[in-house]
Structure 1
């Protein structure tokens, strides 16, 4: 198995992509540490994951001390972190820039940018000491394109790609790799929120419109995103670092 006795730390571990990633890595023999905001959703997620060992940690990823603590607890429990899936994220409210609030911008950047930054800061310290490790950051096609009404989210995911590139350069000499996935719409609860934000109660119309923008005419599944995360974290991608990978059903082929 690709991750026999490896330790995989996943933030946003109770969300759709986080659960799919946990299952995919567990299937390959990994020991898991799952991080999310509340204990109950984590426990529910863990029930669906058949892992050798699973550590559940609550943390607000936008608070530095709490990030430092979840990294320390994972190290104390397992002794190492082999893979970090830096996945926690929120979409925020849909509003034009002229109507956008500071509160929404701060909330989105707190989770999507500061959460990613803090995670990198403390996990990479450990991986540099180990002289090994792989990180996968969750970006988005919103980190490559614009989207009306989603200025906070789009700006935050552009920032994730910038952090991804810089982190990869800083740790390459230590044998640590850093990459990102950039999905289009994924069939998870976050997408239900985006659909509702976009068109109110007309969620079915929103879904059809979003799917129609994808050449493959559907959303990705969380499992498809997880499979790419597994590959990028594995030795099969041993010379791959500093890149972001679109997983968008061909949507990126329609832009420059």
Structure 2
């Protein structure tokens, strides 16, 4: 689990932030209390929120979590970032969590089918694939066709995770029978293979290359338009404090949360 760091940013004031505070202040006996809370005294609510989110959301959700904490004193947000399919398995196996943000609807559907979603999932952003290459693009990759050139080593995400499923869709659209040298557990792991020089390229999300722009370059390719991933988010049925969880979901979807996501390269739903 990752704890959102102490807030390094000035708090952005917005109507949505005020709504979130109001929601938390209204937490009452109808919510099953989180460990150590909530505290309904005048000093404010005390609650711990556990968010499971796709690996590609690591940077943006860490920032959003810090800002949500700042807007809601007494609330602590903790995160677990991994491949969406791995997180969905944890949820359906009973792992305690309050909010789930997946990198595609198919993964979210497994959580809904298991009865673990408290609400209807909503899409909050979209993401598109690019070809990540080491800085300077030494293999001279310009598109998917170059990935099958002799000697070019490529990393993909495993097809069970959203980035791998999207990559397979794009490759099939191009009629490309690429065989990767490695299949990784999530998009950050695939990108890491490029960063450390183990492969010449990897199919990852545009947002991940933007976050590592000082180490990798991004090569756009037209087939990615046929494999854009929608990211749904939902409050979980086992949420210890559903009001706090729903406030976080609302914050992610607010103008404040959407600005953080857009700055990282995510697309509007």
TM-score (norm 2): 0.32
Q: State which structure, 1 or 2, has the greater radius of gyration over its C-alpha atoms.
A: 2
TM-score (norm 1): 0.33
Indicate the structure with greater strand content.
Answer: 2
Indicate the structure with greater helix content.
Answer: 1
Between 1 and 2, higher relative CO (CA 8 Å, sep ≥ 6) is seen in 2
